[in-house]
Amino acid sequence: MNLLGISGSLRAGSFNTALLRAAQALAPEGVSITLFSLRDLPFFDQDLEAEGDPAAVVAWKEAVHAADGLLIACPEYNGGITGVLKNAVDWASRGKPAPLAGKLCCLVGASPGMTGTVRAQDALRLSLRRAGARTEPQGDVLVGQAHTKIEDGVLTDERTIEALRRHLKAFAEAVRA
C-alpha cells in the first residue's frame, strides 16, 4: 500500500513534517509513505489552469491519483487551515476525474498550542469533502504542545508515538476495506 504524505507547512523545522517522518517509520508492515512537498505549487488560478496545468501541478495531481490514500499533516495558523494546504486541495479538486474524488484521507496535526490542530482539521475536513475526498473515520491525531514532544525534528513522546502507530494501523485497514 502506498500512502502519500503531505505537510501543510513549508517551514524547514515544521512539527507537521516531523510528524510525517515519524509516520514513515511507524507505518504498518506493507505500507509505505512517500512525502510530497507543496512548496512549488503555484497559487490556484483558473486562467493558469486554462493554459494547461504547470509541471508542479501535474506532478501533484499524478501523485494524488497514484496514492492509495493521503496522510495529511495539518498545521493550524490563526485557528484555521494554512494557505498552502488549501491551495493544494483546490488544485487536486480539478480535472476529470478530480484526483481527490473518492480518495481516503487521514488527518494528523501538531501545534505548540494546547488543543493541537483541531480547528484546522475541521476546516480541512470540510474542504476535502467538498472536493469529493473521504476523510479517515478513525478519529484525530492532535499533537498539542508539539515543542515538548518533537525535538530537533524527531517525535520523542512515547504516548504520541503509540497513538500515531495505532492511528496508522487503523487508517491502513480503512484503505484496504
The stretch 43-57 carries a mean pLDDT of 97
Local structure of 12: helix, strand or coil:
coil
Question: What is the tens place of the pLDDT at every residue in 17-33?
Answer: 999 999 999 999 999 99
The stretch 40-48 carries a mean pLDDT of 97
Q: Is the pLDDT of residue 36 over 90?
A: yes
The C-alpha cell at 124 is 480541512
At residue 81 the predicted structure's pLDDT band, cuts being 50, 70 and 90, is very high
Residue-number span of the structural domain to which 129 is assigned: 2-176
pLDDT number for residue 125: 94
The C-alpha cell at 3 is 500512502
Residue 129: give its domain's CATH number.
3.40.50.360
Q: pTM (2 decimals)?
A: 0.95
Axis-axis angle for helices 158-176, 15-26 (nearest 10): 70
Q: Which residues contact 57 (CB under 8 A, 6 or more apart)?
A: 41, 42, 49, 91
Question: What is the tens place of the pLDDT at every residue in 134-163?
Answer: 996 667 789 999 999 999 999 999 999 999
Strand partners for 36: 6
Write down the number of H helices and E strands in the chain: 6, 8
**Using CA atoms, how far apart are residues 141 and 138, in angstroms rounded to an integer?**
9
Kindly tell me the burial class for residue 112, based on how many C-beta atoms sit within 10 Å of its own C-beta (0-12, 13-18, 19 or more): middle
Q: How many domains are contained in the chain?
A: 1
User: What residue has cell string 505549487?
Assistant: 41
**Nearest of 163, 174, 40, 30 to residue 109 by alpha carbon:** 163
pLDDT number for residue 140: 77
Alpha helices in 32-133 (DSSP H): 46-50, 55-66, 83-92, 118-130
Considering the chain, what is the average pLDDT of its residues?
Answer: 95
